[in-house]
Amino acid sequence: MQTMDPRLLKHVIGAAIDMGYRAIDTAYIYGNEKAVGEAIQAKIDDGTVTREQLFIMGKLWSTFHRTDLVETACKNSLEALGITYFDLYMIHNPMSFKEGPDPIPKIASVVQFSEYDYLDAWFGMEGLVSKGLAKSIGVSNFNSVQLLRILEKGKIPPVINQGTPVEYKNSTFAVIDDPLVKVMASGLGVSPAQLLIRYQIDSGHNVVVKASCANHLWDNLQALTFELEKTQIDALNALNKNKRTFTFKGMGETHKNYPFLEPF
Ligand SMILES: NC(=O)c1ccc[n+]([C@@H]2O[C@H](COP(=O)([O-])OP(=O)(O)OC[C@H]3O[C@@H](n4cnc5c(N)ncnc54)[C@H](OP(=O)(O)O)[C@@H]3O)[C@@H](O)[C@H]2O)c1
C-alpha cells in the first residue's frame, strides 16, 4: 500500500479482497492507515471477509524506537486502521531517528538521529506480543549483523526480515523489462510480472507485490497457477546484477545502523 493515492485505496483494496487477496501490508510512514482501515472495514461490513481471515501487517517508524514509545505507536496505528491487533508488526528500518512529531527530523537538511537503538525498539516490540497487540513481530531492511544482534539479545526471534530488493519505478535495470524475462514469459504464455512473482515463490521467498489497478492485481494472482523448472530459475538467477537500488537515499546513509553496508 506504499505511497498509493488514498482516493484509489478503497477501490483497490476492495477489488483485491474480492479476488481473494488476504494479506495487507501497511506502514505508519505511508500516511494512509486511516484510508486502508476504512477500505478493510467496508469489506468486513459487506460480509466478504472477517477480520480473522485477513493478515494485516504494520511497521513501526524510526522516531518510535525508544522502548516506551513502541506501544503507543502501535496502538495509534491500530486505531487509525480500526483494528485491535496486527497479525505482523515490523520495525520498518534499523535506523533510529530523533523522537518527536516529524517523521524525518532534519536540521539544515541533516537527518537527526536518536540516541536509542533498534534493540530498544525490539524490547518494546516483544511487549506487544504479550499484550495481544501483535500476533507476531519482525523487522524490515535489517542486515545479517543486525539480525544476529536481535537473535542474541532478544527473547522472541523475528519472524521476517522484509525489504525491497529492487525499486521498480525509474530503475535503469528494471528486471520486468529485461529481454530474457519477456521472451521466457511469452514462451510460457504468462506475463513478465507473473513470471517474476513465480520466480520468487519457487525460490522459496514470500512475495509482497504492490499493484494499484485491478488488472495488475488479477494478473499477479495468476502467478499461483503455474510452476517453473529449475533450469528456468537458474536462467533468471543469471540476471543478478549484484546491485541494490533501494537505499534509503537521503534518509540516513551516515547513521551508525545504516543497514546496506554489509553484503547481506
Ligand atoms: N519494508 C520496506 O521498507 C518496504 C519498502 C518498499 C516497499 N515495501 C513493500 O513491498 C511491497 C511491494 O512494494 P513495491 O513498491 O516494492 O512494489 P513492487 O511490487 O515491486 O512493484 C510495484 C510496481 O509494479 C507495478 N506492477 C504491479 N503488478 C504489475 C503487473 N502485473 N504488470 C506490470 N506492472 C505491475 C505496479 O504498477 P501499478 O501500481 O500501476 O499497479 C507498480 O508500479 C509493498 O507491500 C510495500 O509496502 C516495503
**Residue 55 CB contacts under 8 Å (≥ 6 apart), including other chains:** 22, 23, 24, 87, 88
- Rounded to whole angstroms, the Cα distance separating 88 from 137 reads 5
**What's residue 172's pLDDT?**
57
> Is 168 a known active-site residue?
no
**What's residue 173's pLDDT?**
63
Q: Which residues are annotated as a binding site for substrate?
A: 92
Question: How is domain 6-163 classified at the CATH fold level?
Answer: TIM Barrel (3.20.20)
Q: Which residue's CA is the nearest one to ligand 1's atom 13? A: 210
**What's residue 129's pLDDT?**
98
Domain ranges of the chain: 6-163, 175-237
**What's residue 71's pLDDT?**
98
Which of ligand 1's atoms lies nearest the C-alpha of 211?
A: 41
Contacts 24+ apart (CB under 8 A), 79-82: 80/33, 80/34, 80/37, 81/26, 81/33, 81/34, 81/36, 81/37, 81/40, 81/56, 82/37, 82/38, 82/40, 82/41
**What's residue 168's pLDDT?**
45
**What's residue 143's pLDDT?**
95
Of 21, 30, 116, 258, the catalytic one is 30
Which residue positions in the chain have pLDDT lower than 50?
Answer: 166-169
Q: Which residues are annotated as a binding site?
A: 92
pLDDT digits (tens, 9 = 90+) for 164-208: 654 444 555 688 999 999 999 999 999 999 999 999 999 999 999
DSSP state of 164: -
